[in-house]
Amino acid sequence: MGERAREAQGESAVREPEFRPMLLTDVPVITSIEREAFTVPWSAEAFMNELRHNHFARYMVMELEGAIIGYGGMWVIMDEAHVTNIAVRAQYRGRGYGEMLLRRLMRMAAEQGARSMTLEVRVSNEVAQNLYRKLGFRQNGIRPRYYTDNQEDAYIMWADLASGGGQA
């Protein structure tokens, strides 16, 4: 049965996205997704500086049928990867794309020599925390008043990439 036939019958198949490195020309779309996802979004200049000047930075986009539907970024320093941001367009959330994107970031980090990965997450963001735990992240501290918009604390979470984290 074709995809259109499945959709006509009410089935929503998760289509396989494509991943590629983020380009400077992607920044306008990325900042649009950033504004959808975060109360304090990164600016276009911040992304451009990351892509142009930060030799630790690794950013990728996730495309579906030629349209960017998500992105993720991290810094790989020595044997650690620090997720800087990860987001999926609102209309594609809840379909497994965020998990695919994070798994891909974890695999890329491991390929570049990282043995562990860390990130911060709002203490109120249980949906994200559940995904991170599913992929092997464990809470390992708190950053008090980390988020500038409301002074919310952040959990610090870590995953061991050496044990195959992110592989599926």
Q: Which of 80, 99, 120, 152 is catalytic?
A: 120
More confident of the two residues 166 and 102: 102
> Residue 168 pLDDT more than 50?
no
Is 120 considered catalytic here?
yes
- Band the pLDDT of 163: cuts 50, 70, 90: low
The topology (CATH level 3) of 16-160 is: Aminopeptidase (3.40.630)
pLDDT digits (tens, 9 = 90+) for 104-162: 999 999 999 999 999 999 999 999 999 999 999 999 999 998 888 899 999 999 999 98
- Band the pLDDT of 12: cuts 50, 70, 90: low
Is 92 considered catalytic here?
no
* Domain regions of the chain by residue span: 16-160
Q: Which of 59, 71, 92, 132 is catalytic?
A: 132
Task: Note the pLDDT of residue 142.
Answer: 96
> Residue 166 pLDDT more than 60?
no
Q: Which residues pair with 72 in a beta bridge?
A: 60, 86
Mean pLDDT of 28-48: 95
- Band the pLDDT of 90: cuts 50, 70, 90: very high
More confident of the two residues 14 and 34: 34
Mean pLDDT of 24-44: 96
d(CA 131, CA 141): 18
Mean pLDDT of 26-50: 96
* Percentage, residues of the chain above pLDDT 70: 88
